[in-house]
Every structure is written in C-alpha cells, then in structure tokens.
Amino acid sequence: MERRFSLPDEAATRAFAKNLARALPKGAVLVLSGPLGAGKTTLVRYLAEALGFTGRVTSPTYTLMHVYPTPEGPLLHADLYRLNDPAQAEALGLFEEAEGARLVAVEWGRLEDFPGALLVELVPLSETAREARLTAEDPALAAALSRL
C-alpha cells in the first residue's frame, strides 16, 4: 500500500508526524529516505514530540544512534549515512536497544535491510514544502496507513 501526503510547511509536517505516531503500532520501523535537507530529522523531531519527548532531537549522523525516552517507550533514531555496509549497524549493536522500542526511525537505511519496515520518502518540492510518500507491505503497517 502506498499513500502520499502534502506537507506544505512545518506546521503540516508536525501535524502529519503526530497522526503518524498515533497510527503506527508499537515497534514499527520507519526507513526514512530523501536527499540531504529533505526533513528526515525534522520528521523524527516531531515524532518524538508526538510521543511525549520534551528534549532536543538532533541528527545522529556522527553518533549513529540516539535513543529518546518517551512515556510510550523509547524512540530509536539511527542514521546509517556514514556506514559502508548496513550490516555494520548490527555488528556495532546499534539495534539491540530496538527491543521494546515504541518506534524505530532509520535515516539512510535500505528497505531490503529492514523487511517489513514502513518506507517514508520525503521529496522536497520547495524550500518549505515536502511530499511524504509512504509505502508499506506489512499488513499491520498498511492498516495504519489506511487510518491516516
């Protein structure tokens, strides 16, 4: 199942993230794609906010992973941009913390490395506008998309 959402500004992105966070089942994995500056980390910031995290959300480009505690369980935010092989993330133990996570958001991941994940492609349309293209093959995630 594929759905597309128009995000004309940051307020729309915030509202989209709030609805997405509420619709997704616990443990859902999101593979975030799009060019540099597409808004991947911004989307994660709003997902964290929607789940009740009140701290600062930053890109994990150099640390590879951040874990944000939320009342609903942790939000795991990983960035695989600097890795040569996605298997390195597993070898480093980055996803051991994904056990029990409310959501897992992976920037620069490859969908084939995360079977059953929700692909979230952010396409810049202008300086402020984006289109979010969501694709899910997993039945639970497809059902979540139909509720958005």
Mean pLDDT, consecutive 10-residue stretches, the chain (148 aa), reads: 97 97 95 95 98 95 90 93 73 70 91 87 96 96 93
In degrees, rounded to 5, the angle at the alpha carbon of residue 26 between the alpha carbons of residues 20 and 32 is 50
pLDDT at 86: 64
3-state secondary structure (DSSP) of residue 68: strand
Judge whether 133 lies within some domain: no
Domain containing 97 — which CATH number?
3.40.50.300
Judge whether 87 lies within some domain: yes
Give the count of domains, the chain.
Answer: 1
pLDDT at 99: 75
pLDDT at 92: 66
Q: Residue 97 is part of which domain span?
A: 16-21+28-127+138-147
Distances (CA, A) of 143 to 13, 87, 103: 21, 29, 16
The model's pTM? 0.92
